[in-house]
């Protein structure tokens, strides 16, 4: 065979290398539950693997509950996942030699589903965090008993944040005395973190059935109920409404918030909700009318995942009293009558 240039030599070198070197899968692949909803994946290099001046990496593929694929130089990996329906993954050796990459067959491992009777797990789990004072975060979760859960079922909730795990101190019960709500007045959740995970684990006991545990992961920012805007100042100068307020109690800066301004003309009955991106606002109004005003806040997409809207502020009235009725408080918009927990 005539080799006419360096590319031919390179091709021949790679072909010979691929022919002579066998890529072997890792050995002793194990999956271990290391914390609530956390799996430690470990393996060892194959002792028979020839390296021949090549770089060895490992490809990891998570099959369930949430597919994921990545490479690593290490022989261990930690993954957070809901484990009540089991966990499965694969690992393989990846050999890098110049521009050539070769992989071994996959080595697979699995954790079985958590034990328990069908339809005894909780359903409709919903959780909300709230910054009660700077630096302190509360947590509240609600759920429904599983359709197959006996009336004597007792549910118990645990949360994990980073390395801290804690059982619920205070429960609320349904008419069968089953725990269906949990409240943590104070937690180890850090209010200034971005997109950290909160793990919720609920298991149970019954004399009539084995209760299957349930786990769910929550983005802490996505379940935070924002505080109400502070120090709201509203004035009416001739026909101009001037409004100013301060951002809610939060470790995040002013630019991380957006607001809704709920304005009702009590003379005409006209209602409108205006979206505001700053903490001040000016609007031309009918100076002969009286108005009710409320403001609420949420995070915007600039800094973090949006959470739940805050409650509406207390009503503030401005304008003239004549030609309108102010009896009772104005109704909030229909879509706001049902709030998140």
pLDDT of residue 20: 62
User: What phi and psi values does residue 82 have, to the nearest 5 degrees?
Assistant: -70, 125
pLDDT in tens, 47-71: 999 878 889 999 999 999 999 999 9
CA distance 256 to 240: 27
User: Is the pLDDT score of 18 beyond 80?
Assistant: no
Structure-block tokens of residue 121: 């797990």
pLDDT of residue 134: 81
Q: Tell me if 338 is assigned to some domain.
A: no
Q: Tell me if 197 is assigned to some domain.
A: yes
CA distance 114 to 99: 44
198, 127 Cβ separation under 8 angstroms: yes
Last residue of a domain, one of 203, 222, 241: 222
Provide the pLDDT confidence category of residue 325 given band limits of 50, 70 and 90: very low
Check whether residue 303 and residue 239 sit in a common domain: yes
Check whether residue 87 and residue 132 sit in a common domain: no
202, 125 Cβ separation under 8 angstroms: yes
Q: Tell me if 43 is assigned to some domain.
A: yes
Q: Tell me if 189 is assigned to some domain.
A: yes
213, 203 Cβ separation under 8 angstroms: yes
In which residue are the tokens 């067959």 written? 105
Give the chain's count of helices (H) and strands (E). 1, 23
Number of separate domains in the chain: 3
Mean pLDDT on 104-120: 96
CA distance 336 to 341: 12
pLDDT of residue 14: 47
Check whether residue 166 and residue 190 sit in a common domain: yes
Check whether residue 122 and residue 101 sit in a common domain: no
HSE, side-chain direction, 13 A CA sphere, residue 255: 2
Structure-block tokens of residue 238: 């001739």
Q: Tell me if 331 is assigned to some domain.
A: no
Domain that holds residue 74: 17-111
Check whether residue 133 and residue 206 sit in a common domain: yes
Check whether residue 52 and residue 142 sit in a common domain: no
Last residue of a domain, one of 222, 256, 288: 222
Check whether residue 162 and residue 97 sit in a common domain: no
Check whether residue 196 and residue 156 sit in a common domain: yes
251, 234 Cβ separation under 8 angstroms: no
Q: Tell me if 202 is assigned to some domain.
A: yes
User: Which conformational region is residue 318 in: left (phi greater than 0), alpha (psi within -120 to 50 degrees), or beta?
Assistant: beta
HSE, side-chain direction, 13 A CA sphere, residue 258: 17
Check whether residue 246 and residue 191 sit in a common domain: no
**For residue 218, cis peptide bond before it (omega within 30 degrees of 0):** no
In which residue are the tokens 């795990």 written? 165
Check whether residue 253 and residue 197 sit in a common domain: no
Greater confidence (97 vs 328) lies with 97
Least confident range of 8-22, 26-40, 126-140, 224-238: 8-22
195, 219 Cβ separation under 8 angstroms: yes
CA distance 23 to 95: 7
Q: Residue 174: give its domain's CATH number.
A: 2.60.40.10
pLDDT in tens, 197-231: 999 999 999 999 999 999 999 999 999 999 999 99
Last residue of a domain, one of 111, 141, 166: 111
| pTM of the predicted model as reported, rounded to 2 decimal places | 0.83
Q: Tell me if 260 is assigned to some domain.
A: yes
pLDDT of residue 7: 45
Check whether residue 199 and residue 270 sit in a common domain: no
Least confident range of 119-123, 165-169, 269-273: 269-273
Structure-block tokens of residue 242: 């001037």
Q: Tell me if 300 is assigned to some domain.
A: yes
Check whether residue 271 and residue 243 sit in a common domain: yes
């Amino acid at each position: 065979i005539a080799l006419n240039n360096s590319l031919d030599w390179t091709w021949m070198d790679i072909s010979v290398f691929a022919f002579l070197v066998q890529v072997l899968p890792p050995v002793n692949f194990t999956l271990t539950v290391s914390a609530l909803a956390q799996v430690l994946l470990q393996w060892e290099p194959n002792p028979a693997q020839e390296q021949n001046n090549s770089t060895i990496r490992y490809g990891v593929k998570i099959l369930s509950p949430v597919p994921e694929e990545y490479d690593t130089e290490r022989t261990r990996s930690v993954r957070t996942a809901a484990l009540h329906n089991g966990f499965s993954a694969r690992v393989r050796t990846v050999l890098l030699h110049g521009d050539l990459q070769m992989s071994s067959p996959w080595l697979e491992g699995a954790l079985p589903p958590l034990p328990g009777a069908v339809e005894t797990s909780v359903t409709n789990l919903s959780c909300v965090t709230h910054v009660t004072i700077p630096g302190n975060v509360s947590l509240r979760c609600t759920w429904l008993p599983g359709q197959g859960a006996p009336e004597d079922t007792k549910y118990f909730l645990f949360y994990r944040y980073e390395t801290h795990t804690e059982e619920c101190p205070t429960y609320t019960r349904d008419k069968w005395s089953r725990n269906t709500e949990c409240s943590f007045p104070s937690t180890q959740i850090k209010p200034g973190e971005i997109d950290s995970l909160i793990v919720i684990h609920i298991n149970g006991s019954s004399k009539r059935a084995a209760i299957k545990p349930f786990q769910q992961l929550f983005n802490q920012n996505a379940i935070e109920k924002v505080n109400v805007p502070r120090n709201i100042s509203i004035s009416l100068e001739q026909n101009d409404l001037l409004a100013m307020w301060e951002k809610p109690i939060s470790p995040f800066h002013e630019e991380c918030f957006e607001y809704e301004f709920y304005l009702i003309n009590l003379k005409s009955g006209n209602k409108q909700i205006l979206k505001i991106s700053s903490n001040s606002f000016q609007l031309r109004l009918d100076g002969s009318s009286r108005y009710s005003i409320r403001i609420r806040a949420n995070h915007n997409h600039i800094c973090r995942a949006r959470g739940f809207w805050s409650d509406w502020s207390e009503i503030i009235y401005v304008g003239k009293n004549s030609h309108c009725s102010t009896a009772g408080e104005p109704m909030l918009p229909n879509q706001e009558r049902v709030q998140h927990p």
